[in-house]
Amino acid sequence: MSAAKTSSKKRVAESLLTKSASKFRVEDEFDPDFSSDIKGIMSALQQIREKSQKDGQKKNEQTISRQTFAKALTKSSKECENCLKSETAKFQEIYDKFCKEKATHLQAQKDTVSRFEEDKETLCMRYEQMRKKEKSMISEHEKTCADKIAQLAESLKKKKQDDKTFCILRKSLGSFLEYASDEDFLPED
């Protein structure tokens, strides 16, 4: 068996050599097993070639598809980048405007608070002045009232003294005139 295999291998090698020298030259000796093996190999090679062509075509299509996708992605990326730049510029503009308005608003608030503080100080000073003036007026009024009370007390004392003196004078005169009694001229308390 090994001799048959060896001779079969030699024949295959020889037939391949002869086929490579002349593509479709058939040898005088025809072996049907050998011919079917060659047909199987040729069929397998043909399938491999077709598959490699299909794979190559698929790879070309995939490469073209990827290139198209890459171009579309690049275009989309540039559009997004341009949109982002535009939106960034708009945002920066709005942010700058906001900062200016914020500064203006804060300054206005500081000015308002400052005015209120000044008004508060003015009002406090006026209040203190009025309070001092009122204290002074109250003090003067109390002094005036105390003086009037003292004058009235002095006047009352004099009146009582004058009344006593008048009573005494009447009594003296009444006793001198003899018709007046002491009961008519009682001193008023």
Per-residue model confidence as pLDDT tens digits over 26-69: 444 556 777 888 888 999 999 999 998 988 888 888 888 888 98
pTM of the predicted model as reported, rounded to 2 decimal places: 0.38
Query: CA 134, CA 140: separation in Å to the nearest integer?
Result: 10
pLDDT for 171: 78
At a CB cut-off of 8 Å and minimum separation 6, what does 174 contact? 180, 181, 182, 184, 185
119-176 confidence digits (pLDDT tens) = 999 999 999 999 999 999 999 999 999 999 999 999 888 888 877 887 777 777 776 6
pLDDT at 14: 62
CA 170 to chain centre: 103
Q: Mind giving me the DSSP string for 106-136? A: HHHHHHHHHHHHHHHHHHHHHHHHHHHHHHH
At residue 167, the pLDDT reads 79
Nearest residue to 41 (alpha-carbon basis) of 15, 4, 62, 63: 15
Query: What is the predicted pLDDT for the residue at 23?
Result: 46
Taking the C-alpha atoms of residue 158 and residue 165, their distance in angstroms, rounded to an integer, is 10
Rama region for 178: left / alpha / beta (φ>0; ψ in -120 to 50; rest): left
- DSSP class of residue 27? P
CB within 8 Å of 184: residues ≥ 6 apart = 174
Looking at residues 97-106, what average pLDDT do you find?
95
Report which residue type is found at 57: Q
Residue 81 is inside which H or E element, if any?
helix 32-177
- Residue 185 near residue 174, CB atoms below 8 Å: yes
Mean pLDDT (whole number) for 88-114: 95
CB atoms within 10 A of CB 17: 9
